[in-house]
Amino acid sequence: MGFVEIAIYAVILRTYFYFEKTGRTNSFGRFPYLKTLTERLTEEALEGWEKGEGIQGARYWKLIKSIGDGDVDPVVHTAFDLCLAATYVPEFAVYLNYYTGNTATIQLAFELEGQFCPPHEELADRLHRLQKICRIDRKKHPLAYASMEADDRLLAYLFVEESVGSGKVQPTVFGNGEWFLCEEAIHPMFVHQELADECAAWLGERMPRTVLQIAGSGGRCFLAKHIARLLKQNLFLLSAEKCSGFFSDDAEEQMDGLIRELFWSGGILCLYGLRAELFTEWQVTEKDFGKKVVKRLLDAGISILLCTEGHFIFHDGGLIGKRVELMPLTRVERQQVFEGFASLYGISIDCMRYSVRYRLSAGEIARAVELWRQEGSGTEQDFMRISAQLLSGGSGKALGNLSYPTVNFGNLQVPGEVQEVLEQICCNAMHGYRIFEEWGLGQQYSYGRAVTVMLSGPPGTGKTMTAHVIAGELGLPLYQVDLSRVMDKYIGETEKHLEEIFSFAEKTNVVLLFDEADALFGKRGEVTEGKDRYANMEVAYILQRIEQFEGIVILSTNFYHNIDKAFLRRMKYVLQYRMPDETLRRRLWESSLPEKQCREELDIDYLAAQFEFTGGMIKNVILSACVKAIYEKSQLSMEHLLQAIRAEYEKMEWPVSDEIWGEYEYLIM
């Protein structure tokens, strides 16, 4: 007969004697099997039990002390034995139900110990201890009569030599969480290793009842895993999104399930993704969350790593022991992470260049590099595409259109002085970090580091094309904002949409294009109506957000003088496009026309001198003429071009006279 069986038979016999005292005589008469079990309790067996030898004895007393916070609480001890007996010997559960109307309860444990049931708080404290190993039906009132049922893993721990109680984790876990086992492989921390060491040392001195809050952005769960690894503790990661059950009708059952999971698996909890909006969804306060979730876990002897979103600070009423905040990686730190992965995987990349172009967190770099390696192409173009696609699932993407331009300066026909400025813009985007890092101007420019460009001029002069060329030269995606989706009649929604756009642009490192920018960046006016005040607030918000932004922002407008002067002050580069002169028009015609084998001899000098078109109009004319030639199954000719030019004149409502055709009048008459 094993150690645990003796404990079970002993509590059954104690219960029998208690029933005899309280007038329920000969209670084993209806349950002869229980009488047979208790008759096995010889003096020799009881003497061996008191020594507590063997694996079962060691585990039994370890459990008793763990649920008693290091001490042996007689009532908790007896309640534990009752739960164990009712689970191991089903006939005993029937026996209890027959004579008490219930199974194992804390009330019966008090009675067996000859004590009166204490006030609610003391009673609840003992039940909190027992909940680590027992399922407690808290819907039963009064609470003293809540039925207790031992967790299935209790028997496995006590009776199976190698079981989950020895440190292994059950394959099915509470709430669809995720286990990180401390012996699992995980790549090194290329940044913040000293922070992980500091937090692990602090937590190790205060376990098992403390909370470490990790705020900020990027790498919080990864930091939590490294802390757990240093502590040699398994880590259970649970999203705060899945915690609504802690405030539902079965909240106690949900919480008990989590506590039992963590108790049996010997782990600490990482609760991640906590943000202020969740409290509104749950219709609770931060104080409620602290009391019903954080404090309950601490009372159960569970340490918590609480990962909060962004700059949200959980106001805890003294529950948080330590708070650290992860700031976005600096350019130098990003380079360290790229260098770490390049060394780890044996890949050759320009780590400095990548650190400038891809403003990713350490975790995002890890995922992008892994996908990049799996595809096996190894080109930077693929890394750009993968990093953008990896991060483009946010709501910001729905407010614009993402493209990957392949054009460059060779495709853009602009005056020489304009091209020189555009080359400086690209140089700023690629090497501007050196001004702040190597030249030591970082402190003087703690904000306002964005590469901001204003393009103004008549329609068709190449403003949108210029934005594509800048993105193409830099090898970055172009994100063209759709103002129809951004601007909202409801107060505050426009600002919300803009924040989503800027956040998306910061993460994916796209070139941000606001086309027709005067609709959004127009001048602030005098407040005469309520709507004027909110319109001015939108402009003020954008001004502030551009100051915080560190990427590339391009604004294009046909109405330069309608742009608010405060925006112009924040534009580092302002390019005013004008109608092209004859020389530039010739270059535009030559670069836009199809190959010579697809056309007859064309008089490009005549076309450039005779028609004062913008680049956009020239493209429209050539495309329309090519369609006409394809339709007629012939090569492109002057006649096709002149017909398309007349259509363009009519579209623009310009007068069409015989004089405009000059020497080619005969082709159009």
Q: Map 499-539 to HEC letters.
A: HHHHHHHHHHCCEEEECCHHHCCECCCCCCCHHHHHHHHHH
Residues 67 and 71: their CA atoms lie apart, in Å, by 8
Cβ neighbours of residue 497 closer than 8 Å, sequence gap 6 or more: 399, 485, 486, 487, 488
Whose tokens are 């509104």? That residue is 280
Residues 482 and 493: their CA atoms lie apart, in Å, by 15
Q: State residue 491's pLDDT score.
A: 66
- Peptide bond preceding 208 in cis form (omega within 30 of 0): yes
pLDDT tens digit string along 476-523? 888 898 887 877 766 677 788 888 888 888 777 789 998 877 777 665
Cβ neighbours of residue 428 closer than 8 Å, sequence gap 6 or more: 451, 572
Q: Check residue 144 and report its DSSP letter.
A: G
Q: Which is more confident, 2 or 82?
A: 82
Q: State residue 19's pLDDT score.
A: 93
Query: Nearest to residue 335, comparing CAs of 359, 364, 370, 367?
Result: 359
- Judge whether residue 528 has pLDDT over 50: no
Q: State what percent of residues in the chain have pLDDT above 90.
A: 19
- Judge whether residue 92 has pLDDT over 90: yes
pLDDT tens digit string along 26-36? 999 999 999 99
The angle, 0 to 180 degrees and rounded to 10, between the axes of the packed helices 530-548 and 493-508 is 10
Tell me the torsion sign for CA atoms 627, 629, 632, 635: negative
Q: State residue 369's pLDDT score.
A: 85
Tell me the torsion sign for CA atoms 392, 393, 395, 400: positive
Residues 305 and 311: their CA atoms lie apart, in Å, by 16
* CA distances for 371 relative to 264, 340, 374, angstroms: 36, 16, 5
225, amino acid identity = K
Q: Which is more confident, 392 or 188?
A: 188
- Judge whether residue 530 has pLDDT over 60: no
Whose tokens are 């190449």? That residue is 462
**In what helix (H) or strand (E) does residue 239 lie, and over which residues does it extend?**
strand 234-239
Q: How many CB atoms lie within 10 A of CB 298?
A: 18
- Judge whether residue 169 has pLDDT over 70: no
Classify 309 in phi/psi space as left (phi over 0), alpha (psi -120 to 50) or beta.
Answer: beta
**Mean pLDDT score of the chain, rounded to an integer?**
82
- Judge whether residue 544 has pLDDT over 90: no
Residues 429 and 456: their CA atoms lie apart, in Å, by 21
Cβ contact 103:86 at 8 Å: yes
Greatest mean pLDDT range, 256-265, 436-445, 643-652? 643-652
- Judge whether residue 194 has pLDDT over 90: yes
Residues 197 and 472: their CA atoms lie apart, in Å, by 43
Mean pLDDT for 168-188 is: 72
Q: Which two tokens stand for residue 360?
A: 């990713």
Mean pLDDT for 306-314 is: 84
Classify 376 in phi/psi space as left (phi over 0), alpha (psi -120 to 50) or beta.
Answer: left
φ, ψ of residue 72 to 5 degrees: the values are -105, 100
Query: pTM (2 decimals)?
Result: 0.70
pLDDT band at 46 (very low <50, low <70, confident <90, very high): low
Mean pLDDT for 530-546 is: 65
Residues 158 and 168: their CA atoms lie apart, in Å, by 14
Which residues make beta-bridge pairs with 134?
Answer: 150
Q: State residue 164's pLDDT score.
A: 42
Half-sphere exposure of 578 (CA within 13 A, CB side): 6
- Judge whether residue 217 has pLDDT over 80: no
Mean pLDDT for 111-116 is: 91
Distance between start and end Cα atoms, the chain: 116
Q: Which two tokens stand for residue 638?
A: 């002057």
Q: State residue 376's pLDDT score.
A: 64
Q: State residue 446's pLDDT score.
A: 61
pLDDT band at 230 (very low <50, low <70, confident <90, very high): very high
Mean pLDDT for 639-645 is: 90
**In what helix (H) or strand (E) does residue 158 lie, and over which residues does it extend?**
helix 152-159
Residues 87 and 135: their CA atoms lie apart, in Å, by 11
Strand pairing class (552-557; 451-456): parallel
Greatest mean pLDDT range, 64-78, 421-435, 594-608, 641-655? 641-655
Cβ contact 401:482 at 8 Å: yes
Residues 429 and 358: their CA atoms lie apart, in Å, by 12
Cβ neighbours of residue 189 closer than 8 Å, sequence gap 6 or more: 196, 222, 223, 226, 362
Q: State residue 163's pLDDT score.
A: 44
Residues 214 and 216: their CA atoms lie apart, in Å, by 7
* CA distances for 210 relative to 235, 333, 519, angstroms: 15, 30, 53
Mean pLDDT for 126-135 is: 84
**In what helix (H) or strand (E) does residue 216 lie, and over which residues does it extend?**
strand 211-216
Cα angle: 593, vertex 596, 601; to 5 degrees? 90
Which segments of 394-513 does DSSP mark as H helices, in order?
Answer: 416-431, 433-437, 463-474, 483-486, 493-508
* CA distances for 120 relative to 10, 254, 473, 624, angstroms: 29, 21, 72, 86
- Judge whether residue 250 has pLDDT over 80: no
pLDDT band at 128 (very low <50, low <70, confident <90, very high): confident
- Judge whether residue 166 has pLDDT over 50: no
Residues 477 and 464: their CA atoms lie apart, in Å, by 14
pLDDT band at 214 (very low <50, low <70, confident <90, very high): very high
- Judge whether residue 600 has pLDDT over 50: yes
Q: State what percent of residues in the chain have pLDDT above 70.
A: 88
Residues 213 and 215: their CA atoms lie apart, in Å, by 6
- CA 597 vs. chain centroid, Å, equals 55
- Judge whether residue 170 has pLDDT over 60: no
**In what helix (H) or strand (E) does residue 548 lie, and over which residues does it extend?**
helix 530-548
* CA distances for 65 relative to 68, 70, 258, 260, 297, angstroms: 5, 5, 20, 16, 18
Q: Which two tokens stand for residue 6?
A: 């003796």
Cβ contact 230:197 at 8 Å: yes
Per DSSP, which regions of 298-436 are E strands?
Answer: 304-308, 322-326, 400-403
Residues 98 and 114: their CA atoms lie apart, in Å, by 22
- CA 430 vs. chain centroid, Å, equals 28
Query: Nearest to residue 636, comparing CAs of 608, 602, 607, 663?
Result: 602
Q: State residue 31's pLDDT score.
A: 93
